[in-house]
Amino acid sequence: MEIQKLYDLDDIEFEDVTIGLVRLAKNVPDHEFFYHVNQRNDLNFKRIDDLIYHGSYYDYFFPRFEAYHKFTRTCFTFISNRSSESKQKKIQTELFSGEENIKFLLNNQVEVQYILHSSEQFPDFSVILLPENLVFPIQDYILGSEEELYQIIQYYE
C-alpha cells in the first residue's frame, strides 16, 4: 500500500524572519536590564522557560523574556544569545569536536547580548523603548529559512 504525501516540502515557501540584535553598552545582569526596560515601557517583560539547544555533548540553556504589547497585540521575546548554563550529556572523545560548554545562537555575532523576536510578520521594534545609556540601537537582521536559528525560533513559537 502506498502512503500519499500530504505536502511536498519543495512546494512550501518559507518566509524570512526579521529579528533584532541588541547590544549592551555596558555589562549588566539580565534582571537589571529588564528592570530598566520595564520602567520605560507599558510592556512587562517576564522570564519564561529557557530555550534549550541539544548538542551532541551538551544541552545548552538560553534565558528568554517575554511581554505582550496591549495595543498592537504583539508578543515580543528577548532570547539571550549566550547560553547561561550547559549540562554535559557525554564525555567528549574527539579532540576538535567544535562543541564547548558555552554556545552562542549567532556564532558570527558574539558581541550581541539579546536576540529580539516578534510575533508579527513585519516587526516594529521601535515600540520598545530601551534605556539609551545601556543599549546601542537595535539592528535588524534577516534570518533565512535555511539557518538553524530560524528553525529554533519556529519551534518555540
How many other β-carbons are positioned within 10 Å of the β-carbon of residue 109? 15
The mean pLDDT value of the chain amounts to: 84
Show me where the domains of the chain are located. 17-92+102-156
Whether 60 has a pLDDT exceeding 70, the answer reads yes
Residue 63 · residue 46 · CB < 8 Å? no
Quote the pLDDT of residue 10: 44
Quote the pLDDT of residue 91: 81
Q: How far apart are the first and last CA of the chain?
A: 36
| Cα–Cα distances in angstroms (integers) from residue 152 to residues 36, 83, 127, 148, in the given order | 28, 14, 25, 6
Burial of 87 (0-12, 13-18, 19+ CB in 10 A): exposed
Beta bridge partners of 67: 76
**Residue 14 pLDDT grade (very low, low, confident, very high; cuts 50, 70, 90):** low
Q: Which tens digits make up the pLDDT trace of 110-128?
A: 999 999 999 887 788 888 8
Residue bearing the bigger pLDDT, 94 or 12: 94
pTM, 2 dp: 0.82
Whether 146 has a pLDDT exceeding 90, the answer reads no
